[in-house]
Chain A
């Protein structure tokens, strides 16, 4: 039972490069989300999706794009990496509902932008 799988686990980029962080879940969860975690701060929501074909912005969406073509996959794209995007990124999923179900997290991607 894989749960939520994120790749890569680590990545170093140069300023201006683009890349895609992959996220896949095998639990048939409708709701998926991307967070970034920075020291001394709580998890901050970047983008989320309540189902295939539907995405929406979270608290800190600038500089990131997402798409949800299937229920299983929710990739996060950095269009032109900036040092301020150095962070640990977590993908999470849950059954769609009203927030009374626990979220399942991937193992995270540690991203450094030089």
Chain B
């Protein structure tokens, strides 16, 4: 099993500040990269699925970029709000079996 790593493990950010975190994944046999938001006591919800090198996707104040050659993706949150507090998961898909390999997540806590 090839690892997907997320950093940092946790992050405290002041309300209104912008932040970003990283997902590293194996670049060989890359097929797709998923980002999910997971609020406490709820189920993970999909944010983005990206497949192309250089891809950038945006949903409101949240955006993500993808570098498949070096095997990383960044998730950005602009002007953090308390409702952004959650664990953000990424998962890589390889074209050998199309299964999602999950990172352990970045836990984001927004301080009012």
Contact = CB atoms under 8 A, between A and B. Distances in A.
Main secondary structure of the interface of A (DSSP, over half): loop
Interface in B57-112: 89, 91, 93, 95, 98-105
Candidate in A43, A48, A98 with the most chain B CB atoms within 10 angstroms: A43
Given A90-B43, A102-B46, A103-B46, A43 B102 contact: yes
Interface of A: 4, 40-45, 48, 58-59, 90, 97-108
23 contacts: A40-B104, A41-B104, A42-B4, A42-B101, A43-B44, A43-B91, A43-B100, A43-B102, A44-B102, A45-B99, A45-B100, A58-B99, A59-B1, A90-B44, A97-B98, A99-B98, A100-B51, A100-B93, A103-B34, A103-B36, A103-B44, A103-B100, A108-B43
Interface of B: 1, 4, 31-32, 34, 36, 42-46, 49, 51, 89, 91, 93, 95, 98-105
